[in-house]
Structure 1
Amino acid sequence: MPASSSAAAPTHAAALLAPGFRFHPTDEELVSYYLRRRVCGRALRVDAIAEVELYKCEPWELPGLSRLRSRDLEWYFFSPLDRKYSSRSRTNRATAQGYWKTTGKDRDVSCGARVVGMKKTLVYHSGRAPRGTRTNWVMHEYRLEDSQLAKAGIPQDAYVVCRVFQKNGAGPQNGAQYGAPFVEEEWEEQEIANGVVLMPDAEDDDDAVDAHDQEYLEFNDLLQVTSRLSS
């Protein structure tokens, strides 16, 4: 295993998702809900994404920094952008032992007919450019393109949200959803050691949700729907 970098440990303890639950947000949800609220400094109803200086970490270190303890082989992070030059026109994506290289064109992330963000695909190369060795570590980097925030003067380029995975092997193929096999003994050991299962709090203050979030089903609404179906 390559030497560890000096990346800081996560600020929150890792949490568990109950068996059968997956954290697999769509591109739109990552941008319009998670990243938008992070940029605006608003609380998240489920604290599932760690904040990490992503480009100061090697990719094999990232699973240990994830907020979610899961054997689903994809991980999510908020990251500040490190600008390479004072002009802020280019981003520094070099780590101590390699670099993330952009592949393909950036793609729009849309909410209906409205573009709300951009999605960049990067592949990790070990060594130094331009002679680095391509690996199977892949990152999807999402940034906001929100006209409402721009009009309000809220900077959108300070943070990105990223999905990291391995393209080949046991992980998700090209970012597809992946569910790790259920191992009962493993969950029993984790429950004894931690006693924490990550789920939204049904008593969360509704004031924490702004008008932009109304597109997404609230947890309280889900409880009401399931209650009616079971009655």
Structure 2
Amino acid sequence: QGQGAATSLPPGFRFHPTDEELILHYLRNRAAATPCPVPIIADVDIYKFDPWDLPSQAVYGDCEWYFFSPRDRKYPNGIRPNRAAGSGYWKATGTDKPIHDAATGQGVGVKKALVFYKGRPPKGTKTAWIMHEYRLAADPLAAAVNTYKPIKFRNVSMRLDRLC
């Protein structure tokens, strides 16, 4: 288990937010510089690490870890994200999943699944590490503040499939 806030959590505490809760209560707050009630998600530039080194950077979690990470661009004036990390790279899989506010039906964010490959593209070797990336929906407010994303890791099947 990670350090910090997790040591002051009550017995039996489980941090298992839904996609909607991650967007509405954590990512929006982080993007607006509003503190979270409990500092349970660490700020870590995940692309500076191999995924197996990230659990030690987390505030909380045994099989699933959450991080706020800056969005880096592959090229300074481009829109493509830089997904190189440690000894490999993260590759997007499937299609983006829209996240909606259950109360209003409004789109509030997007979830993307990525898999870690060791080596360099296109000859990288696929690993069991999966990451879910969350971004705010593209609205004027989000565009102004969408510089961080919460990341949910799990080693195996994304939702960070349990490796426990």
Change (3 A) 1:97 1:21: same
Which 5+ residue runs of structure 2 have no aligned equivalent? none
Alignment of 1:94 with 2:54, yes or no, is no
Q: Say whether the 8 Å CA contact 2:118–2:127 is kept in structure 1.
A: yes
1:163 maps to 152
Give the Cα–Cα distance (whole angstroms) in 2 for the partners of residues 23 and 177 of structure 1. Answer: 15
Counterpart mapping for 1:41-190 below 5 A = 41-68=33-60, 70-71=61-62, 73-112=63-102, 113-145=105-137, 147=139, 149-150=141-142, 154-156=144-146, 158-167=147-156, 173-175=157-159
1:36 alignment partner, SS class = helix
- Structure number with the higher helix fraction is 1
Q: Say whether the 8 Å CA contact 2:153–2:160 is kept in structure 1.
A: no
1:103 alignment partner, SS class = strand
Moved over 3 A (4+): none
Question: Which amino acid is 2:151 matched to?
Answer: C
User: How many residues matched?
Assistant: 160
Alignment of 1:13 with 2:39, yes or no, is no
Change (3 A) 1:174 1:98: closer
**What displacement does 1:175 show?**
2.2
Give the Cα–Cα distance (whole angstroms) in 1 for the partners of residues 134 and 42 of structure 2. Answer: 15
Which 5+ residue runs of structure 1 have no aligned equivalent? 1-9, 168-172, 181-231
Q: Say whether the 8 Å CA contact 1:40–1:154 is kept in structure 2.
A: no
Q: Say whether the 8 Å CA contact 1:32–1:116 is kept in structure 2.
A: yes
Question: Which amino acid is 1:139 matched to?
Answer: M
1:193 maps to none
Counterpart mapping for 1:26-45 below 5 A = 26-45=18-37
Q: Encode CA deviations 1:71-124: one digit per residue, 9 max, x unaligned.
A: 3x0100000011111223111110130000000011101103110000010000
**What displacement does 1:18 show?**
3.4
Report which of the two structures shows the higher radius of gyration computed on alpha carbons: 1
Give the Cα–Cα distance (whole angstroms) in 2 for the partners of residues 106 and 120 of structure 1. Answer: 5
What is the percent sequence identity of the aligned residues? 46
Change (3 A) 1:109 1:58: same
Question: TM-score, structure 1 length as denominator?
Answer: 0.64
Give the Cα–Cα distance (whole angstroms) in 2 for the partners of residues 49 and 86 of structure 1. Answer: 28
Q: Say whether the 8 Å CA contact 2:113–2:158 is kept in structure 1.
A: no
